[in-house]
Amino acid sequence: MPKTVRYQEESNPELATTASAGWRFRFDPDDGPEWVVLAGACPKCGHEFEYRYPLVPLVVAGELPDDRKVLTIRVRCRCSTRHPGSRGEAGCGRSWTLRVPRPAPTRSDAGA
């Protein structure tokens, strides 16, 4: 259940464990993904939000090697609720990591 908690920049393994149980992900667009779109509730404040993680800079910079099967993505609460003490920042300040499988190569990737 969503709750208003005080803004605090914090990260710990319990947040990641709680988030990994309920978060969903998809690649956007489906053919030749440029983003991982993660969606779920913040494990601390409980507010739902969507988090977009860019894949294109990783590919261009050569940071997504073929042998990496899983992406580890750092997510920060970006809910739209104003949390006390936030000084205008979005979300409650908590962050955690989520692991998602690497997108399958597209036909254009395989031919490169």
Other C-beta atoms lying within 10 Å of the C-beta of residue 27: 18
Distance CA 33, CA 54 (A): 9
Task: Give residue 33's pLDDT.
Answer: 82
Other C-beta atoms lying within 10 Å of the C-beta of residue 26: 13
pLDDT tens by residue, 75-102: 999 999 999 999 988 999 999 999 988 7
Q: In 3-state terms, what secondary structure has residue 16? A: helix
Task: Give residue 98's pLDDT.
Answer: 94
pLDDT tens by residue, 9-62: 999 999 999 999 999 999 998 777 888 999 999 999 999 999 999 886 555 555
Q: In 3-state terms, what secondary structure has residue 102? A: coil
Query: Which run of H or of E encompasses 69?
Result: none
Exposed / middle / buried, residue 89 (Cβ in 10 Å: 0-12, 13-18, 19+): middle
Residue type, 4: T
Q: Where are the domains of the chain?
A: 10-104
